Chains A and B, each alone.
Chain A
Amino acid sequence: MNKECCCENEKIEKLNKVIEEYINVEGALIPVLHEAQEIFGYLPMAVQKQIADGLNISLAEVYGVVTFYSAFTIYPKGQYQINVCLGTACYVKGANDILDQFKKILKVEVGQNTEDHKFSLNACRCVGACGLAPVVTVNEDVYGKLVADDVKGILEKYKD
């Protein structure tokens, strides 16, 4: 508990430094949000408040920008980011079945995390590996030429 608390304070300090760097820069909000998401993994109210106060803009404006761009999230992300490509090539090769299989096994919808925060399920546009369609990425790992039955095996690899 103590360790986590310390770590949280370090993150807040880190974000303060970022804000300081950007305080007089025009259009600072988006780069600061990116860095904040790097630091915290997501942008909860406390973090958005810190940014709003630091840059002297309203929390409503910060929240407006955060919810506008899909790159930002206000919910914590899982340890493993599953991205199922729904680009044209993957789609015609049955990516939807693969996505459904992930939903079924993990019991989450797209954009959600599993209860243990292990996995986040996302759908994405073309990852540029159409030759391997349909493609799924888990963090840095790429899996190609998949069928729905492969999903279980992929998840097994991240059990621990």
Chain B
Amino acid sequence: MSKVNITIDGIKMQVPSDYSVLEAAKEMGVDIPTLCYLKGINEIGACRMCLVEIKQARGLQASCVYPVSEGLDIITNSEAIRKARKATLELILSNHDRSCLTCDRNNSCELQAISDKLNIRELKYEGEKTSYLLDDISHSIVRDNNKCILCRRCISMCKNIQTVGVIDATERGFHSNISSPFDLSLGEVPCISCGQCINVCPVGALREKDDTAHVWEAINDKTKHVVVQTAPAVRVAIGEEFGFPIGTGCTKNMVGALRRLGFDKVFDTDTAADLTIMEEGTELLQRIQNGGKLPLITSCSPGWITFCEYNFPDFLENLSTCKSPQQMFGAILKSYYAKKAGIDPKDMVVVSIMPCTAKKSECKRHEMGLDGIADVDYVLTTRELAKMIKEAGIDFKNVSSEHYDDPMGDASGAGVIFGATGGVMEAAIRTVYEIVTGDALEDLNVTAVRGIEGIKEAEVVIGDLVLKAAVASGTGNARKLMEMVQSGEKEYHFIEIMACPGGCVNGGGQPIQPSSVRSKIDLRAERAKAIYSEDMRLSLRKSHENETVKKMYAEFLGEPCGHMSHELLHTHYTAKEKYPMK
């Protein structure tokens, strides 16, 4: 990249010619305030907080969208700039529901932070206020437009990155608001519940549906046996809520904290991930051997499943019939485990801790249960679990390090890596290779499918078969990949798709990091590193070597994809029409 010479606040510097003024200033250590800006996702100059003076331009300019050029002379701090930024912020605040004390984003709000930073101590404008109804119809996402500052980050995420596009700016002027068409609820539109909008919201306008009260109630009910399971991606992110650096694995602290909360058993969803590999791996081999529908596409991500049902109904038969690991685990807990432990499944409550908001909707699907008993009763996000831990006064940093409970807490590294994009593919390859060839896989690290690229491809020689595989994360990338498959441009045997960019580590239920952190650190990469190092630490790294899973088949399930499996662990999908006319 060629460089250009610019001057910022009288200091000369050289920066790459594709930088914005904001990026250049950041590199020099000048912290220009921003609200709508989110690197790589929303760079639209809408909020006018990042105003600067540019000698070569008239008036104040939004630095996030002003490209640098040779000789540019920039001032970032003057009376005029400070006044303009403050006035803009005061106007935003004048029509904002300022109930910070009871807000979900109290202490993690970018508007709150910037108000403090710009030294706002009184509000001069007390004008008219808009008033909107709370949208809490969706099982996963709650929208409160009274908190919305119209930054449009959620729109960029939903429309441009995820290509879901169920929200947009509507009306104009004072009545501008972000909503779904015809004021429909997020629960009535083709929203896939991925929750990426929540993760990019700078304020409390978007949040998950809070299920913590239900879980406290279950824990308090002494007649209930309350079992908790934790997804792989939760352990590498929950630490962020308690001051650990991004990308710190906190499995043992998390297990300790879950016991202190009062759960009767603490199990690992990774065990069910191993089970998923046994089922899905077998399904893949059967489809290849028997001329079944290919490519086989993974079904672990409920956001992706909903996306596929709405956008690629012709591919529903390509989806693996396997339930997602959380649902498989719920089904096993309420059958096999209940029987073993001598508990009536009706007296059991299964709680999942997930990095995901879509899982909240998934567990409510009527297929996800047997004889009227739901596989999973409640899903909490990583954030909700952190809230419960804080509410209970548990010192997460110093809580005793503990292990998952037997007999369902035993999992392989293959189960752990489910949390990162490419992980399911890698886990499947580790198992399928050894089942087909009978040989041990030399290098268990299938690096071709690792990394945060949106679409990855790999060819793996397994005996006589050259397995063609592809991995996509983020539904925008999934759409691209599926269109290539649809047109015949690409052919694969096996495709892994995760709805969230980077996979579950970057799920819609994970700790929220502000724009300032996201500009510097790639959350997907850092959290994934922790996932892979967790895998490396384990001696058991292949799903088919998991003794717990082997025992499950020997004592209860019979064989992978057998009759019992189909009853408990597999499901079906339904094409969905977008905006059906009543």
Contacts and interface: CB of A to CB of B under 8 A. Distances in A.
Contacts of A67: 170-172
Contacts, number: 46
A62 B180 CA distance: 11
B101 interface: no
Interface string B547-582: 000000000000000000000000000000011010
B166 interface: yes
B118 interface: no
A14 interface: no
Contacts of A68: 169-172
A63 B170 contact: yes
B479 to A, nearest CB: 12
B182 interface: yes
Interface string B140-183: 00000000000000000001000001111111100000001110
A60 B181 contact: yes
Interface in A21-80: 45-46, 48-49, 57-64, 67-69, 74
Nearest to A70: B172
A69 B579 CA distance: 23
A61 B168 contact: yes
Contacts of B171: 67-68
Given A45-B581, A46-B581, A59 B172 contact: no
A60 B579 CA distance: 11
Nearest to A57: B165
A64 B581 contact: no
Contact of A58 (B168, B170, B182): B168
Nearest to A61: B168
A2 B166 CA distance: 35
A59 B170 CA distance: 12
A61 B170 CA distance: 8
Contacts of A62: 181
A60 B159 contact: yes
Interface residues of B, number: 16
Chain A interface SS verdict (over half) = helix
Contacts of A59: 165, 181, 578-579
A48 B579 CA distance: 11
A63 B182 contact: yes
B172 A60 contact: no
Contacts of B165: 57-61
B181 A45 contact: yes
Contacts of A46: 581
A45 B168 contact: no
Interface in B430-448: none
B125 to A, nearest CB: 25
Contacts of A69: 172
B581 A60 contact: no
A60 B167 contact: yes
A40 to B, nearest CB: 15
A48 B170 contact: no
Chain B interface SS verdict (over half) = loop
Interface in B239-272: none
Given A45-B182, A48-B181, A58-B159, A64 B579 contact: no
A84 B172 CA distance: 22
A156 B257 CA distance: 78
A92 B80 CA distance: 40
B168 A64 contact: yes
Contacts of A48: 181
Nearest to B176: A68
A71 to B, nearest CB: 12
B256 to A, nearest CB: 44
B159 A61 contact: yes
A109 to B, nearest CB: 16
Contacts of B159: 58, 60-61
Contacts of B180: 60
A98 to B, nearest CB: 26
Most buried by A among B170, B171, B172, B180: B170
B181 A63 contact: yes
Nearest to A69: B172
B85 to A, nearest CB: 27
Contacts of B578: 59
Contacts of B170: 63-64, 67-68
B37 to A, nearest CB: 21
Contacts of A57: 165
A49 B581 CA distance: 10
Nearest to A49: B579
Contacts of B168: 58, 60-61, 63-64
Contacts of B167: 60
A74 B171 CA distance: 12
A79 B172 CA distance: 27
Contacts of A49: 579, 581
A63 B180 CA distance: 8
B350 to A, nearest CB: 35
Nearest to B159: A58
Nearest to B155: A60
Nearest to A45: B182
A9 to B, nearest CB: 15
A79 to B, nearest CB: 25
Most buried by A among B167, B180, B182, B581: B182
27 contacts: A45-B181, A45-B182, A45-B579, A45-B581, A48-B181, A49-B581, A58-B165, A58-B168, A59-B165, A59-B181, A59-B578, A60-B166, A60-B167, A60-B181, A61-B159, A61-B165, A62-B181, A63-B181, A63-B182, A64-B168, A64-B169, A64-B170, A67-B171, A68-B171, A68-B172, A69-B172, A74-B182
Interface of A: 45-46, 48-49, 57-64, 67-69, 74
Given A59-B578, A60-B189, A62-B181, 9 more contacts: A49-B581, A59-B579, A60-B165, A60-B166, A63-B168, A63-B170, A63-B181, A64-B168, A68-B169
Interface of B: 159, 165-172, 180-182, 189, 578-579, 581
Interface pairs A-B: 6 shortest CB-CB = A58-B165, A63-B181, A60-B168, A64-B168, A67-B170, A59-B181
